[in-house]
Amino acid sequence: MGVPARVGDLLWEGIVHYGTIPQTNESVFSFDTGGGAQHITQCLANVARYAPPGQTAPDFKGAIGVTADSVEGVDITVPVYHFNETHYLADAVVTLA
């Protein structure tokens, strides 16, 4: 079930997924290997700096997206791995101990 959201004073909205309940001792696995985003402001290595002839390129010490006031950085796509594992156990197996 999704996290309920309050819509009004006495009104809530929620999402429920219906399905069959797996048998006891059955396991369910799911995974997702999609990508996520990460905001970075520093490079791993600075390969080269370039400037017009007769000028020297500024050295920003690996900062990305440098402006007059700040370092803006950049968003990159990174691999993300999500793994879910659910085991259905008999009530007698699950105790407070």
Please give the full DSSP string across 43-64, using - where no structure is assigned: -S--------TT------TTBS
Q: Spell out a b/e string for 46-68, using b for 16 or more CB atoms within 10 Å of the CB, else e.
A: eeeeeeeeeeeeeeeeeeeeeee
Query: Bigger pLDDT: 49 or 18?
Result: 49
Confidence band, pLDDT 50/70/90 cuts, at residue 2: low
Please give the pLDDT value at position 10.
86
3-state secondary structure (DSSP) of residue 94: coil
41: closest CA among 78, 70, 74, 67?
74
Of the pLDDT bands very low, low, confident and very high (cuts 50, 70, 90), residue 43 is very high
The structure's pTM equals: 0.48
| Helix (H) / strand (E) containing 28 | strand 27-32
Q: Averaged over 40-58, what is the pLDDT?
A: 94
The pLDDT score that the predictor gives to residue 23 is 83
- Pick the residue with more confidence: 18 or 70? 70
pLDDT > 60? residue 1: no
